[in-house]
A and B are shown apart, each in its own frame.
Chain A
Amino acid sequence: SQELEQSPQSLIVQEGKNLTINCTSSKTLYGLYWYKQKYGEGLIFLMMLQKGGEEKSHEKITAKLDEKKQQSSLHITASQPSHAGIYLCGADGDGATNKLIFGTGTLLAVQP
């Protein structure tokens, strides 16, 4: 079965610093999805990546999928307190988008 490993598990950065979160799959990814979760709330969909080498950006968040389609990174530029939360990656390794497998998440804290 497919597994997703996220690193780091937690991260504390000072406001204004850049950071990267990684998501590594045990199998080739058909689709990779990034979500953000604030404490006590549901997940918010951020971005979807499907093609090897694909890169997408939304405001100060950039997500990339490597050429081999087994690893994705989420990069935040000039972090702000509003970026704090848990970031989760999800994947449909066999193309079944109804059955995403999720990573265990990366907890991000941004210190003012």
Chain B
Amino acid sequence: NAGVTQTPKFQVLKTGQSMTLQCAQDMNHNSMYWYRQDPGMGLRLIYYSASEGTTDKGEVPNGYNVSRLNKREFSLRLESAAPSQTSVYFCASSELGPPLHFGNGTRLTVT
């Protein structure tokens, strides 16, 4: 029973490089979320998807794009990474309502 799986677990990028963070859930949930966690800032919502085919901006969407590929998968893309995007990224899912199941995070460093 995997729950929410995030890949990769760690990543180092140089400024300007692009990458996609992958997230998949096996609970048939409708809602999926991307958060970033920074020291002293708590978790901040980047994007969320209430259902397959829909996405909406959260609190800090600038510099990111998302794709809800199907009901299972929700990816987060950084087109041109910046040092300010150094963070721990969490994907989460729920059937509806607030995020209930979280992945273990992707630790991203942008140099």
Contacts and interface: CB of A to CB of B under 8 A. Distances in A.
Nearest to B48: A98
B24 interface: no
A112 interface: no
Interface string B72-94: 00000000000000000010100
Interface residues of B, number: 26
Given A42-B102, A43-B90, A43-B92, A98 B50 contact: yes
Contact of B41 (A44, A92, A104): A104
B45 A100 contact: yes
B44 interface: yes
Interface of B: 4, 31, 33, 40-45, 48, 50, 56, 58-59, 90, 92, 96-105
